[in-house]
């Protein structure tokens, strides 16, 4: 706003800063002074501060951006000429890789005709802006999302879930810009509820986290979500996303359904915990940094229930700084993660007299992190703030901060802990809008894919 400003950052984060400026409507050229990463390592030399003092003064006194135009710009359509379609598709994929538009795997050509077919999955205007994906601030219009869904190999009936997921993604409480820039190996998890899960063949049973050739909706929706984070948000490794390790789950995230048919009586779904009535089509989004398989899940006796819950609590008690990054006495809605429990296990737990809250309470009490795993108390982001620090340290402010979802194969034997990543404030949910002509889309799906296969 006319105030001389220069950003101080380290090598590798220049594009993060530039995209952050652009997302706020400023020039992406952002006046910056860069310092070597080694300066920020333990014992690193501070000499670069003196060496860069001239650049710092220059940025505060004389720097001006070269770019003068402002506004929202739509890229021109691309035409690819080749001797046949196969060659054209291959060249298109090469072009997309060179321009950092794909994830490196083959993508479907998002032609005008294909995108038009994809838009049959929504009644919303193609020009409607669903949100801006940070840090770059790319504009997620309905049409742009249809392009991404086509690239991901999706279908029109997946669009309502995808659009709702983007609406949840851009909710300020999710802080998706942190997901897109952090050094943490974080990715989105999307849990879907309601009749639409059966309509689009979204898995809630065996192998629900994928892959599954009988139920491809989760992979396509998740891949389209990754394209939004990358192409609109700028999440290219070492460029804008500084995730140190990344990981295979960043290709598609985790998109699956809760098995509402397997919920015991008086056992609420995640959507109900989020304030929605049973039977509503709802998407809930969170960010996680790992999936931990928990051997166990036997629940035929009281001892078996305790043994299984103790193993789950042990997996949860890993000292993960993301547990506490957004935890304060004023934020009681933060969640440490999501525990997936199979239908057989949850029924055994209920048969032994446990309610959902009692399970949460037991896990919360028994997953507290011992003092020796958090000390000495150094000045680091992963150390709990002194306003909440206690020993042993709870992984959330209260038992409700441990989410439980019933999903996976029917038999017991394993559970899965989805540990929170950087750095949401709370889970975010949105109701899914079903378009007119829905039945026609489902009829076409049966023609294309064959009859649905039950979980």
State how far the Cα of 335 lies from the Cα of 356, in Å rounded to an integer. Answer: 16
Within 10 angstroms of residue 395's Cβ, the number of other Cβ atoms is 28
Better-predicted residue by pLDDT, 385 or 28? 385
Residue 73 exposed, middle or buried by CB count within 10 Å (0-12, 13-18, 19+)? exposed
State how far the Cα of 155 lies from the Cα of 201, in Å rounded to an integer. Answer: 12
DSSP at 260:
G
For residue 134, pLDDT over 90 is answered with yes
- Residue 1's pLDDT is 45
Q: Pairing mode, if any, of strands 402-406 and 282-296? A: unpaired
221-223-227-233 Cα dihedral, nearest 10 degrees = 80
Per-residue pLDDT of 86-104, as tens digits, reads: 999 999 999 999 999 999 9
State how far the Cα of 72 lies from the Cα of 74, in Å rounded to an integer. Answer: 7
Average pLDDT value for residue range 366-375? 96
Question: How would you label 321-360 residue by residue, b for 16+ Cβ within 10 Å and e otherwise?
Answer: ebbbbbbeeeeeebbbbbbbbbbbbbbbbbeeebebeebb
Percent of the chain residues topping a pLDDT of 90: 76
Structure-token pair, residue 93: 């994929």
pLDDT band, very low/low/confident/very high, at 67 (cuts 50, 70, 90): low
Question: What's the chain's average pLDDT?
Answer: 91
Quick check: 348 and 412 in contact, CB under 8 A?
yes
pLDDT band, very low/low/confident/very high, at 75 (cuts 50, 70, 90): confident
For residue 69, pLDDT over 80 is answered with no
Better-predicted residue by pLDDT, 444 or 7? 444
Within 10 angstroms of residue 272's Cβ, the number of other Cβ atoms is 18
For residue 55, pLDDT over 90 is answered with no
Residues 6+ apart with CB under 8 A from 268: 356
- Residue 294's pLDDT is 97
Quick check: 153 and 223 in contact, CB under 8 A?
yes
Per-residue pLDDT of 303-353, as tens digits, reads: 999 999 999 999 999 999 999 998 877 677 889 999 999 999 999 999 999
- Residue 45's pLDDT is 81
State how far the Cα of 233 lies from the Cα of 20, in Å rounded to an integer. Answer: 10
**For tokens 């298109």, what's the residue?**
92
pLDDT band, very low/low/confident/very high, at 26 (cuts 50, 70, 90): low
Give the long-range contacts of residues 347-354, CB within 8 A, separation 24 or more.
Answer: 347/262, 347/264, 347/299, 348/298, 348/299, 348/300, 348/304, 348/305, 348/412, 349/299, 349/305, 350/264, 350/267, 351/299, 352/299, 352/301, 352/302, 352/305, 354/305
Average pLDDT value for residue range 267-286? 98
- Residue 249's pLDDT is 95
pLDDT band, very low/low/confident/very high, at 455 (cuts 50, 70, 90): low
For residue 56, pLDDT over 90 is answered with no
Per-residue pLDDT of 408-427, as tens digits, reads: 999 888 999 999 999 999 99
Question: Residue 216, CB half-sphere, CA atoms under 13 Å: how many?
Answer: 15
Global model pTM greater than 0.85: yes
- Residue 264's pLDDT is 95
Per-residue pLDDT of 155-212, as tens digits, reads: 999 999 999 999 999 999 999 999 999 999 999 999 999 999 999 999 999 999 999 9
State how far the Cα of 241 lies from the Cα of 19, in Å rounded to an integer. Answer: 11
């Amino acid at each position: 706003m006319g105030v001389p400003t220069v950003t101080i950052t380290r090598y590798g984060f220049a594009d993060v800063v530039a995209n952050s400026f652009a997302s706020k409507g400023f020039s992406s050229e952002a006046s910056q002074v860069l310092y070597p990463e080694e300066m920020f390592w333990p014992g690193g030399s501070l000499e670069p501060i003196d060496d860069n003092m001239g650049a710092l003064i220059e940025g505060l006194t004389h720097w001006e951006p070269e770019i003068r135009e402002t506004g929202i710009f739509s890229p021109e359509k691309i035409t690819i000429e080749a001797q046949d379609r196969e060659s054209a598709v291959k060249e298109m994929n090469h072009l997309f890789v060179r321009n950092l538009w794909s994830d490196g795997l083959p993508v479907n050509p998002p032609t005008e005709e294909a995108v038009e077919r994809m838009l049959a999955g929504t009644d919303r205007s193609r020009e409607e802006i669903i949100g801006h994906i940070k840090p770059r601030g790319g504009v997620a219009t309905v049409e742009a999302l249809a392009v991404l869904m086509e690239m991901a190999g999706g279908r029109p009936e997946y669009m309502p879930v995808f659009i709702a997921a983007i609406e949840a993604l851009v909710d300020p409480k999710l802080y998706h810009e942190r997901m897109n820039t952090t050094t943490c190996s974080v990715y989105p998890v999307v849990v879907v509820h309601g009749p639409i899960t059966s309509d689009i063949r979204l898995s809630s049973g065996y192998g629900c986290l994928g892959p599954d050739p009988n139920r491809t909706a989760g992979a396509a929706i998740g891949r389209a979500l990754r394209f939004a984070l990358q192409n609109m948000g700028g999440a290219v490794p070492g460029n804008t996303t500084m995730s140190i390790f990344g990981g295979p789950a960043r290709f598609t995230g985790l998109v699956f359904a809760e098995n509402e048919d397997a919920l015991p009586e008086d056992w609420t779904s995640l959507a109900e915990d989020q304030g929605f009535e049973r039977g509503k089509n709802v998407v809930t989004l969170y960010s996680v940094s790992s999936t931990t398989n928990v051997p166990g899940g036997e629940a035929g006796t009281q001892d078996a229930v305790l043994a299984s819950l103790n193993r789950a609590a042990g997996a949860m008690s890993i000292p993960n700084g993301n547990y506490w990054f957004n935890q304060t006495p004023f934020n009681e809605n933060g969640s440490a993660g999501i525990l997936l429990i199979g239908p057989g296990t949850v029924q055994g737990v209920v048969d032994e007299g446990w309610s959902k809250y009692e399970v949460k309470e037991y896990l919360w009490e028994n997953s507290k992190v011992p003092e020796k795993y958090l000390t000495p108390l150094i000045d680091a982001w992963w150390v709990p703030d002194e306003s909440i620090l206690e020993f042993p340290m709870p992984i959330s402010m209260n038992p409700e901060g441990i989410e439980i979802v019933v999903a996976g194969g029917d038999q017991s034997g394993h559970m899965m802990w989805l540990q929170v990543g950087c750095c949401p404030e709370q889970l975010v949910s949105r109701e899914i809008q079903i378009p007119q002509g829905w039945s026609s889309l489902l009829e076409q799906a049966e023609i294309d894919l064959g009859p649905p296969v039950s979980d």
